[in-house]
Amino acid sequence: MKELKLYLVVLCSIVITLLVIASTGSADKIEQLTGMMFVRLAEGGILYDNWPAELRVNIKKTHPSYPAESKIKGVNTWRCKECHGWDYKGKSGDYFKGSHYTGIKGIRDYVNQDPIEIVKILKDDTHAFGDMIPENAYDALAIFVSYGQIDVDLYIDRASKTSIGDLSNGGRIYLSTCTKCHGNDGKDINFKDEKTPEYIGTVAKRNPWETLHNIRWGHPVTPMIPLVFLDLKAQLDVLAFCQALPEN
């Protein structure tokens, strides 16, 4: 009986290890991308966030495939993250309820898939992007979907929304890089207004998946430096430090 229990423990450990390796495969794949492939990857992370803003495309109507019963209207319904989420899990992730709920699945099934096949999906009638997105941007989005996304649940606790990163190391990176724009306390940029201020510390605690995406890929239409050239652990360290910054 003891041998059976030991066997089951070992088997479970092997399965968990294999799942972790499979889930982090896209992060490892990034290390193999060089030259223009890496450039396209970084561009894709920005476009996933807000391609209409980054490409200066003026859209006023709501996306034809956006569910009529959902709550967002206009140009924001065209953003990839609006349906598929900052955690890339769509209806199975943080957008399983609330104002951003659409009932649309995430993009996790496309990790390490052929970018050429992903482009075909992006060009279908459901996405309805047409010629609003140029070919190089389609390629960038596909490369990001295949190689840029990660399984965030391995690194951010879903219940507490806390990063597993090291706050001390994150502070060294933030205070030598990010502080020039955001300030030592993260309050030099207010994302909203004086009545309802929103700073890095505010967003990092409320929506760590959005913050991690911005840490890795930057922010559309801004000079924010993407930190995807650092390893994933360092990016998570920066997130941990951002979560320790004041909220208001």
CATH number at residue 232: 1.10.760.10
Instruction: Look up the domain containing 170 and give its range.
Output: 153-243
Same domain, 115 and 214: no
Same domain, 218 and 172: yes
Q: Tell me, what's the pLDDT at 34?
A: 78
Q: Is residue 182 part of a domain?
A: yes
Token pair in block for residue 227: 């930190």
Same domain, 179 and 207: yes
Q: Which of 101, 127, 149 is the last residue of a domain?
A: 149
Q: Tell me, what's the pLDDT at 248?
A: 87
Q: Is residue 113 part of a domain?
A: yes
d(CA 245, CA 39): 31
- Angle at CA of residue 184, ends 210 and 211, nearest 5°: 5
DSSP-assigned letter for residue 188? S
- CA-wise closest residue to 67 among 103, 94, 38, 43: 103
Same domain, 69 and 181: no
Query: Per-residue confidence of the chain (248 residues) as pLDDT tens digits?
Result: 445 444 443 334 333 333 333 344 455 677 778 789 999 999 999 999 999 999 999 999 999 999 999 999 999 999 999 999 999 999 999 999 999 999 999 999 999 999 999 999 999 999 999 999 999 999 999 999 999 999 999 999 999 999 999 999 999 999 999 999 999 999 999 999 999 999 999 999 999 999 999 999 999 999 999 999 999 999 999 999 999 999 98
Is this model's pTM higher than 0.85 or not?
A: yes
Same domain, 142 and 36: yes
Q: Tell me, what's the pLDDT at 35?
A: 86
Same domain, 44 and 121: yes
Same domain, 50 and 105: yes
Q: Which of 119, 149, 179 is the last residue of a domain?
A: 149
Would you say 219 and 211 are in contact if contact means Cβ atoms under 8 Å apart? no
d(CA 146, CA 30): 10
Same domain, 115 and 170: no
Structural domain total, the chain: 2
